């Protein structure tokens, strides 16, 4: 559930520079003027339930500082970690925390282990940008920073990032790196887009051809689908089941939930190329299909047959074994109905079920998996097209085509994650200039993202409680490698993280100039993390893609 209560904007005296320029902004912070220090004599006193956070501090902060941060015995300095459930009521939810740091003593209390971990991220920021490195860069005996008291809790429970690994595959180490980047910004849901027309990225042992055939395409369109350019070499890859388990475990250590997306009934040509019987065989020769090598909306969708249902039940059975997430994303977007209209098998299924049209046939498909997942203790979530033809009672909605789908769903009592493409699709261009690489969509600057408001004013207080949170989406059709993903995601993901975590004023009242001043310190953290972000002055020469066509849209995006 979201907390849309107004606990006030960023405090007027919130520090704007240096180590205390925290992002995302906390609810309350005081800086009394003294100093705090950690050194070789600082030890970690971890209470019950705090052991994982202590382990993370040693592995991340210990590696960067070169300090042992040993278990507490009689050290001259002390980092005391405690789980204090009562803080949930006092400060606002299970991820709340209180950090007190002065002299040689640091006290960090969290309402849960997750809250404690969020507080540890704040402590790392206080230590300065070099605390974000993987090894010490000098013989620094002590690490000093201003004494502070921080009290904090998030606005939203769902603070998400979608990574599209289907269009351009991101190797496992890249996903693990993004989990670290998410944790550093207090984001807690990784939506992993694993299947699409252009590739199937997860091992399903029951159906080996999904990865043997479906994970590789022979070539790739370079730029927008209207581009004449091609990269004429095979592209692909996939995660083994052990890779997935490693990703999920790594995320759990950072209190991040990984939500898998297996796209049905559209965006499925890679699966049909592997198993042609899944397609509409009475309309086209599905044996002639290969993994798609270009972008756009594909008419080759799944056949609404019992065989298809059984096949995907088998897929989801293995998916549920790998992902403990309560939510399972089934896509459900951009499913053209042309083949169903021409298919005698599809028309017979419509008649058999007493449905009105193909939209209701898609709704039947979605409802089947909603019931199937619910019987196994999970919840279906899909893109807002699943509203067409009637929505399954327990389903949640990712509202991407603006706010309208989310408003409709919330008013009908369905939970919603707000991710409107016009505002938080980070593959959209960041400036109007010709230097922006492969310009896609509307211009969405750092300031635009900072002024994004996830909860539409049209919702009543009761309806707004159905807004679970918000999510930024990074689609990779035009993002061919890790550097391009970094460029599109950052620094805007930092602004988005503050929108998702902090209780900010109304968009027009947000002080972007002060956020920019805090970003001055945050860029140094991103540098230490090796993030190839877009500099404030514009892309560096090697970040440009001259001559590669995109799909820019002029004017301000519609606020609908």
| Residues carrying an active site annotation | 196, 267, 334
Element (H, E) at 471: strand 467-474
413 alpha-carbon distance from chain centroid: 24
The H or E element spanning position 464 is helix 461-464
Of 192, 332, 184, the C-alpha closest to 257 is 192
CB proximity list for 44: less than 8 A, separation 6 or greater: 54, 57, 58, 69, 70, 71, 72, 78, 79, 81
Q: Centre a 10 Å sphere on the Cβ of residue 377 and count the other Cβ atoms it contains.
A: 8
Question: What are the b/e assignments for 508-522, b being 16+ CB within 10 Å?
Answer: eebbbebbbebbebb
| Residue keyed to tokens 């509202």 | 399
**H-helix or E-strand containing 81?**
strand 77-83
Instruction: Residue 198: name the closest of 261, 265, 272 by CA.
Output: 272
Pair of tokens at residue 120: 């540890």
Which candidate, 282, 257, 269, places its Cα nearest to that of 349?
A: 282
Terminal alpha carbon distance of the chain:
23
Phi and psi angles of residue 229, each rounded to the nearest 5 degrees, phi first: -90, 140
Residue 30 has φ and ψ, to the nearest 5°, of -130, 140
> Within the chain, what is the greatest distance between any pair of CA atoms?
78
C-alpha distances out from residue 412 to 269, 418, 461, 463, Å: 33, 15, 14, 9
Alpha-carbon distance 74 to 556, whole Å?
60
* Bridge partners, 202 (sequence order): 239
Of 65, 67, 44, 175, give the one whose Cα is nearest residue 116. Answer: 44
The Cα 263–Cα 200 span in angstroms is 10
Q: For the beta carbon of residue 270, count every other beta carbon within 10 angstroms.
A: 30
Q: Are 429 and 443 a contacting pair, CB within 8 Å? A: yes
What are φ and ψ of residue 108, in 5° steps?
-125, 115
CA gap 111, 121 in Å, rounded = 15
Phi-psi region of 465 (alpha: psi -120 to 50; beta: other; left: phi over 0): alpha
Q: Which two tokens stand for residue 488?
A: 């599109």
Among residues 181, 189, 320, 327, which one has the least CA distance to residue 255? 189
What residues form DSSP beta bridges with 235? 217
As a whole number of angstroms, the distance between CA 396 and CA 394 comes to: 7
Judge whether 401 and 344 are in contact, CB under 8 Å: no
């Amino acid at each position: 559930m979201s907390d849309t209560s107004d606990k006030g904007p960023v405090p007027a005296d919130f520090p704007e520079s240096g180590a205390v320029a925290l992002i995302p902004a906390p609810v309350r912070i005081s800086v009394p003027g003294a100093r705090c220090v950690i050194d070789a004599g600082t030890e970690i006193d971890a209470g019950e339930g705090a052991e994982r956070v202590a382990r993370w501090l040693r592995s991340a902060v210990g590696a960067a500082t070169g300090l042992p941060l040993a278990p507490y015995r009689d050290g001259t300095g002390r980092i005391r970690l405690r789980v204090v459930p009562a803080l949930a009521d006092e400060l606002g939810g299970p991820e709340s925390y209180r950090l007190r740091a002065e002299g040689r003593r640091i006290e960090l209390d969290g309402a849960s282990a997750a809250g404690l971990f969020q507080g540890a991220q704040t402590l790392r920021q206080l230590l300065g940008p070099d605390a974000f490195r993987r090894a010490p860069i000098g013989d620094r005996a002590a690490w000093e920073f201003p004494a502070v008291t921080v009290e904090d809790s998030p606005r939203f429970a769902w603070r998400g990032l979608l990574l599209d690994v289907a269009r351009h595959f991101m190797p496992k180490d890249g996903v693990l790196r993004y989990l670290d980047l998410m944790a550093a910004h207090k984001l807690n849901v990784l939506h992993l887009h694993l299947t699409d027309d252009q590739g199937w990225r997860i091992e399903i042992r029951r159906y080996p051809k999904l990865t043997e055939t479906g994970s590789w395409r022979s070539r790739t369109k370079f730029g927008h689908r209207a581009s004449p350019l091609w990269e004429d070499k095979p592209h692909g890859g996939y995660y083994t089941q052990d890779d997935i388990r490693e990703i999920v475990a790594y995320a759990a250590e950072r209190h991040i939930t990984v939500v898998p997306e297996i796209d049905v009934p559209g965006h499925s040509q890679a699966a049909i190329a592997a198993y042609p019987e899944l397609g509409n065989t009475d309309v086209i020769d599905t044996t002639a299909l290969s993994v798609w090598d270009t972008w756009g909306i594909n008419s080759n969708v799944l056949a609404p047959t019992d065989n298809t249902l059984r096949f995907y039940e088998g897929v989801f059975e293995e998916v549920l074994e790998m992902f403990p997430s309560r939510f399972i994303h089934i896509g459900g977007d951009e499913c053209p109905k042309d083949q169903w209209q021409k298919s005698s098998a599809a028309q017979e299924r419509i008649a058999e079920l007493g449905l009105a049209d193909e939209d209701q046939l898609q709704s039947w498909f979605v409802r089947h998996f909603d019931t199937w997942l619910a019987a196994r203790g999970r919840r279906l979530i899909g893109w807002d097209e699943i509203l067409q033809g009637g929505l399954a009672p327990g389903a949640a909605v990712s509202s991407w085509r603006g706010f309208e789908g989310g408003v409709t769903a919330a008013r009908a009592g369905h939970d919603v994650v707000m991710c409107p493409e016009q505002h938080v699709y980070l593959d959209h261009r960041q400036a109007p200039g010709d230097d922006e690489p492969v310009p896609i969509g509307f211009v969405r600057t750092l300031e635009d993202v900072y002024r994004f408001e996830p909860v539409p004013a049209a919702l009543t207080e009761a309806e707004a409680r159905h807004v679970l949170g918000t999510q930024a989406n990074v689609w990779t059709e035009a993002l061919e490698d890790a550097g391009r993903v970094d460029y599109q995601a950052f620094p805007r993901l930092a602004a988005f993280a503050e929108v998702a975590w902090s209780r900010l004023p109304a968009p027009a009242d947000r002080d972007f100039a002060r956020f920019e001043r805090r970003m001055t310190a945050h860029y140094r953290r991103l540098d230490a993390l090796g993030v190839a972000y877009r500099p404030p002055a514009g892309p560096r020469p090697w970040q440009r893609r001259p001559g590669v066509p995109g799909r820019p849209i002029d004017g301000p995006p519609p606020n609908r």
